[in-house]
Amino acid sequence: MAQIIDGKAVSASVRERIAKETAEFAKETGVIPGLAVIIVGENPASQVYVRNKHKACQDVGMHSVVIEMPENTTQEQLLEKVDELAKDNAIHGILVQLPLPAHIDEEEVIKAIPPEKDVDAFHPANVGRIMIGNQSFVPCTPAGVMELLDAYDIEIEGKNCVIIGRSNIVGKPQAMLMLQKNATVTICHSRTKNLAEVTSKADILVAAVGRSKFVTADMVKEGAVVIDVGINRGEDGKLCGDVDYDAVFDKVSYITPVPGGVGPMTITMLLKNTLTAAKDSVR
């Protein structure tokens, strides 16, 4: 029977530590870490994420600014706002909530954020630093996965790690972080042949494919560690992950639930990156 990896508990513990470090840093330097989040349009899911980020900042004693821009904002107007925040010494992290309206080039907006304020770690310079293992920031979801593995003392070195999904936000950076911890890494995707054959050899399986209950029991090795990054709606309308949790549970050693697993860690890692950016700004 699996041990459940409790993302809520780990997140609460890490946030407590961040709040303490933030208070100590502010006392020593007079600098309060600041995060600015820009949201363009009225995407309901994005609005929820932004509210959660704002509240999380306040809870740990950080300065938080939310900038709401209308759906018809031009790319030029958005870039001007990013530039304004880039020059603001009270802001250490800038995040533009994705997705953006179709008429705005996301890549250009990401490149406009200075790498030292890019707390999502999406800027090409930060992506490159992850590749060579010299990063200041790591994308928040992969960073959260590593934090969970560390919290449960799960050995990574020398293990076979299989990641299903090759996105720039999760799959690719997750692979780099696992490599940095000396895992042997395989990335699978929609064109992978004999997928179950590959995944069933994984000591650590990370599912980040975005398909409800995609990973079934026959795809999982006995005693594996299963990390479910997916957040989907099942046929019953309830939240579920990329892993068929009930079918896999008795076969694995550790598993993250959905909700309550990787999800709570993502904003927590954003707070950690913002604190790091603030500390770097006074060095």
Parent domain of 151: 140-263
Residue 56 lies in a domain: yes
Quote the number of domains for the chain. Answer: 2
CATH number at residue 163: 3.40.50.720
- 216 and 147 belong to one structural domain: yes
pLDDT average per 10 residues of sequence, the chain (283 residues)? 95 98 98 98 91 96 97 97 98 96 97 98 96 94 98 98 96 97 96 97 97 96 97 86 96 97 96 98 90
Cα separation of 118 and 95, whole Å?
A: 7
Q: What is the chain's length?
A: 283
- 105 and 156 belong to one structural domain: no
Look up residue 211 and give its two tokens.
């398909």
Residue 125 lies in a domain: no
Looking at this protein, which amino acid is placed at residue 84?
A: E
pLDDT tens column, 109-137: 999 999 999 999 999 999 999 999 999 99
Residue 280 lies in a domain: no
Cα separation of 221 and 252, whole Å?
A: 7
- 152 and 245 belong to one structural domain: yes
- 203 and 93 belong to one structural domain: no
- 162 and 248 belong to one structural domain: yes
- 91 and 175 belong to one structural domain: no
- 150 and 82 belong to one structural domain: no
- 105 and 174 belong to one structural domain: no
Residue 19 lies in a domain: no
Q: Catalytic residues, which ones?
A: 53, 97, 120
Farthest-apart Cα atoms in the chain, separation: 57
Residue 237 lies in a domain: yes
pLDDT at 237: 82
Looking at this protein, which amino acid is placed at residue 255?
A: I
CATH number at residue 59: 3.40.50.10860
**Looking at 115, 132, 148, which one is the last position of a domain?**
115
- 80 and 179 belong to one structural domain: no
Cα separation of 170 and 183, whole Å?
A: 17
Place of tokens 């990013």: 82
pTM of the model: 0.95
H/E run at residue 178? helix 171-180
